Amino acid sequence: MIKLKLQSLHKRDSELAQSNRQLEILSNGIFKIGKLPKFRDKIAGDGHLTLRPKKLEILQINLGYMCNQVCEHCHVDAGPDRKEIMTRETMKQCLNIIRNTGAHTLDLTGGAPEMNPDFRWFVDEASKAGIADFIVRSNLTIIRANKKYHDLPEFFKNHNVHVISSMPHYTRGKTDKQRGEGVFDKSIKALQDLNAIGYGLSGSSLRLDLVYNPTGAFLPGNQESLEKDFKKALSEDFDIQFHNLFAITNLPIARFLDYLIASENYEDYMTSLVEAYNPTAVENVMCTNTISISWDGWIYDCDFNQMLDLKVDSKVKHISNYNEELLNDRDIIISQHCYGCTAGAGSSCQGKVT
Amino acid sequence: MANSYYDPADLRKFGDITEWSEELGTKFFDYYGKVFEEGALTAREKSLIALAVAHTEQCPYCIDAYTKDTLQRGITKEQMMEAIHVGAAIKSGATLVHGVMMMNKVNKLDG
């Protein structure tokens, strides 16, 4: 049983549940008085007056904000108390897009996407579209949460799904601190279940990647070094194998923003992000090759803009009038949270970008 | 003037020392950067050594910098504390081993 640490910002009626309030915080204070440059000015210094999409490669679809966990730093503000779930009608509209997209990767996320009652139907239908890389972002513990989810590894295998799972650390203490008591043990068991049917094994085509994000107000270290440490520890301690580790920076929005403010780390963290700004990362930020679709069919430049309710700056704002060519001709909406994707080696849902 | 000899914000100005002695400052930072690259020791091991030395030197800037650096490398608080104990053990050992000098002197003067 996972012991939940907290409730979502929405459930708590926190002012940070409002995206406008978050954007206000990100534009005021140190950025307003000029102590730190705004993201727009920073990239302009490198010759980017606007940020524009390149070729669309990844279609990321959020199936809902409901989750069996309430992780301390969740940028979605997901949890069991979130009721936003994609309907089968919206899924049907998404399927039309999936069948006709030029993107080579389909990336299903949440919340815990598996909690959507139509999840299996949707995966079944979507897998027929022949997308090269079909990702499901699974939090692992869902596989052990309830008997009805125990066969998920087999289900994933039958649909050749690429599983990407969060694992903030290879030690119990650090993982449970961020994701809730009991998460580590359940995650280990789920990883063993996935390994048992071939996921993550060396040479296996059943892809299993892990996502690392820092447990506190600091940036991720070198992705390759972390991957080496994770592989060694998980193999020695639990006989677990996986393919790659993606190191992701925590973006200062939603519950992580709440944590930064409450722990009085906000200004230092934003300063660290700005100081670690890497112009090369700007060239490859994920919003230039990804679009994000919300549970109710709205379109965003990325998952973070979705959570800040910053819909794309395009005539095509909703999947009901989806047009990939038109959509690709737009300026990407930016704010100070974007520094999270350009710090150090850069950060995206697929890890570093440089 | 600040009310304290140490200001956390000064850590970010460390690079400014080059402004008043460009050649030496640049040489120092080149050397510093090279030292912390992966070599016969991993960058992770070097970070833990730096954290331990930061404490034996009692340098607040270094403690600030290398606590963050070790965290970024995924090092646990237990490993960090053990590294500091290594520094503390050497520091206290270095004090105590001088007790032999005292014993030698006592034995000579009053043995």
Which CATH architecture is the domain B22-110 placed in?
Up-down Bundle (1.20)
For residue A343, the model assigns a pLDDT of 96
Average pLDDT, chain B: 95
Phi-psi region of A293 (alpha: psi -120 to 50; beta: other; left: phi over 0): beta
Interface test with A, best of B36, B37, B71, B77 (most A CBs within 10 A): B71
State the DSSP code for A14. -
* Cα–Cα distance, A231 to A243 (Å, whole number): 9
pLDDT band with cut points at 50, 70 and 90 for residue B5: confident
**Could you tell me the sign of the dihedral formed by the alpha carbons of A151, A75, A343, A287, in that order?**
positive
Contacts of B74 in chain A (CB under 8 A): 169-170, 212, 221, 226, 229-230
Say whether A173 and B76 touch across the interface (CB within 8 A): yes
For residue A328, the model assigns a pLDDT of 95
Task: Kindly state the average pLDDT of the residues A186-212.
Answer: 97
Look up the pTM and report it.
0.91
pLDDT band with cut points at 50, 70 and 90 for residue A5: low
Strands A245-247 and A208-212: parallel
Q: Is B81 on the interface with A (CB under 8 A)?
A: no
For residue A70, the model assigns a pLDDT of 93
Task: Kindly state the average pLDDT of the residues A269-282.
Answer: 96
For residue A1, the model assigns a pLDDT of 58
The interface pTM score, or ipTM, of the predicted complex is 0.78
For residue A57, the model assigns a pLDDT of 96
Phi-psi region of A298 (alpha: psi -120 to 50; beta: other; left: phi over 0): beta
Domain limits of chain B? 22-110
Say whether A225 and B73 touch across the interface (CB within 8 A): yes
Say whether A225 and B43 touch across the interface (CB within 8 A): yes
Task: Kindly state the average pLDDT of the residues A265-288.
Answer: 95
3-class SS of residue A164: strand
pLDDT in tens, A119-167: 999 999 999 998 999 999 999 999 999 999 999 999 999 999 999 999 9
Q: Is B34 on the interface with A (CB under 8 A)?
A: no
**A183-192 core/surface letters (b: 16 or more CB in 10 A; e: else):** bbebbbebbe
Q: Is B71 on the interface with A (CB under 8 A)?
A: yes
Q: Is B15 on the interface with A (CB under 8 A)?
A: no
Distance from CA of A226 to the nearest CA of B (A): 7
Distance (Å) of CA B38 to CA A49, A169, B43, B45: 37, 22, 5, 9
CB–CB of B25/B17 below 8 Å? yes
CATH code for the part of the protein at A15-342: 3.20.20
Say whether A221 and B72 touch across the interface (CB within 8 A): yes
Cis ω on the peptide bond leading into residue B25 (within 30° of 0)? no
Domain limits of chain A? 15-342
For residue A4, the model assigns a pLDDT of 60
Say whether B68 and A212 touch across the interface (CB within 8 A): no
| A344: closest chain B residue by CA | B72
Contact pairs from chain A to chain B, CB under 8 Å: 31
- State the amino acid at position A94 in one-letter form: C
Q: Is the pLDDT of residue A62 over 90?
A: yes
N- to C-terminal Cα separation, chain A: 39
* Orientation of helix A119-127 relative to helix A88-100, angle to 10°: 20
